[in-house]
Structure 1
Amino acid sequence: MNDLFLVAGAGLVAGGMNALAGGGSFVTLPALIAAGVPSVQANASSTVALYPGGLASAWAYRDGLGPIGSVRLRALVVITLIGGIAGALLLLLTPSKTFDFVVPWLLLIATLALAFGRRFGEWMRQRWHIGQMAVLVIQFALGVYGGYFGGAVGIMMMAVWGLLDSRELKLLNAPRTLLVSAANTMAVVAFVIAHAVHWPETIVMLIGATLGGYGGAQVGRRAPANVIRYGTLLLTACITIAFFVRAYRSAR
């Protein structure tokens, strides 16, 4: 019962984080591991628990869908679906011990993307322009990352798209939510078929994330943007450090 309260609270916080600034998996993954779920299954369960919220966001943004520069959205969706299933299968083939070693580094990448992704994207945008084929190749790699882990993958996508599309980044939110959901769709299907989801914890977390997403949207209308941003970065940085400490202790 205590574990279910833990994952419900984590879902609530994660849903709010995703509604405000992203990074919800930083909370759900460690909560599931703390509840006794093995790390690979914890990551799979976290993806499933947060999936409906992402899907709802994609539906809400549907009116803003369109191509990214010269790349058709359909091509990006297809390549992301392929990458997503590849990443999910790679996760299922990864031993828990190996994933435990990799997780801190994945969290670090995601933290850096949350902290600097948009600024880095704008900096690159002023200096480089890439072609359609390069975008598709990178999009496939991001689909793999999304299916395997997915932390801050939406911000990474927009940083890359900014090298091809001159629109303001906020106008890329619609394709971002759709393509993140595309990668997660394939991952969810693979995880369910492989019986990698711990359903009691996942369902409780899913309900919490749904409520948290609604509450986070309400808070986001009132709270200062800088407070949300820096609070999110502080939390993700602390969790990343905790996972590095955990990996160091396990290796001793």
Structure 2
Amino acid sequence: MDFSLLNIAILLVLGAIAGVINVLAGGGSNLTLPALMLMGLPADVANASNRVGVFFQALVGVRGFQKHNKLETTEIVPILIPTLVGGVVGAVLASFLPEQWLKPLLLLTMLGMTFLMIIKPSAIVVESGTVAKKVSQSSMGWWSLFFAGIYGGFVQAGVGFVLIAALAGSLNYDLVRANALKLVCTLAFTSVALLVFIWQSQVNWSAGIILGIGAMAGAQVGVKLALNISPQHLKWFLFWMTLFGVIAALTY
């Protein structure tokens, strides 16, 4: 990979943009992954190196939401249990099922999320004053997180949208708190995946760290925007990001 000043600048800028997108919604990797591959990295190395940026972006995002008391720390473990169990199931399925299943599943999920936000906006934006449910109080919430985990373990791309639907739609979290908990799940997913990629020596650390620096800056901006933007504007941002995910799934 050519680490010219131009390529470094592109990675920093795209990392920052992806950091904002991933904190507010999801799908930032639709920008960074193609860029890494266009710069000469093989698909598997690009995928692994991209997780470095995702890891640091999620770390900064979680810390930012926690600092502003928007992270439900008592629910982290109950939320992670079904999500990670589902992630293991999804990873196992991915190892047995043909790779050709990945793109249709990604496309169907993105389309489903787009139509859900048009037909039933309440599934994403809860009414003001609605009390969030604990995972132990909602079997639907547990299973929603479990299936989000399966999807994340199987595909990974777009899992942020599925997690938001589970956290906001099933457990009644507002979008700010749902995004905070989504980032916790993302951090857990990514940490496990990154360890595997490091073990397989697939990470290009130079590219990953440059991307990570940009992603951390973007995550800080994303947290500030999430705290100040209205739920309706955030919902529409989420909508356009899922639509962009559909276009990306059709293109790649």
Which residue in the other structure is 2:182 paired with? 176
- Matching of residue 142 in structure 1 with residue 148 in structure 2: yes
Q: What residue is the counterpart of 2:198 in the other structure?
A: 192
Deviations 1:56-79 (A, max 9, x none): 222333443156xxxx64233233
Equivalent residue pairs, number = 237
1:65 maps to which of 69, 72, 80: 72
For residue 189 of structure 1, report the CA deviation from its aligned partner.
1.9
The reply to whether residue 16 of structure 1 matches residue 14 of structure 2 is no
Q: Does residue 75 of the first structure (1) align with residue 78 of the second (2)?
A: yes
Contact 1:43/1:149 (8 A) holds in 2: no
Answer whether contact 1:84 1:187 (CA < 8 A) is retained. Answer: no
Query: What TM-score results when the alignment is normalised by the length of structure 1?
Result: 0.68
| Equivalent residues in 2 for 1:1-252, closer than 5 Å | 1=4, 2-62=6-66, 63=69, 64-65=71-72, 73-84=76-87, 87=90, 98=99, 102-103=102-103, 106=106, 109-110=109-110, 113=113, 116-117=116-117, 120=120, 122-123=122-123, 132-162=138-168, 164-216=170-222, 237=243, 240-241=246-247, 244-246=250-252
Show structure 1 runs of 5+ residues with no match: 247-252
* 1:250 matched residue in structure 2: none
Q: Tell me the C-alpha RMSD between the 2 structures.
A: 4.2
Deviation at 1:205, TM superposition (A): 0.9
CA deviations over 1:113-133 (Å, ceiling 9, x no partner): 36745964725999xx99745
How many angstroms does 1:242 deviate by?
A: 5.6
Ranges in structure 2 where 5+ consecutive residues have no aligned partner: 128-132
Q: Among the aligned pairs, what percent are the same residue?
A: 25
With over 3 angstroms needed to count, the CA separation of the structure-2 counterparts of 1:227 and 1:163, relative to structure 1, is closer
CA contact (8 A) 1:87 1:187 kept: no
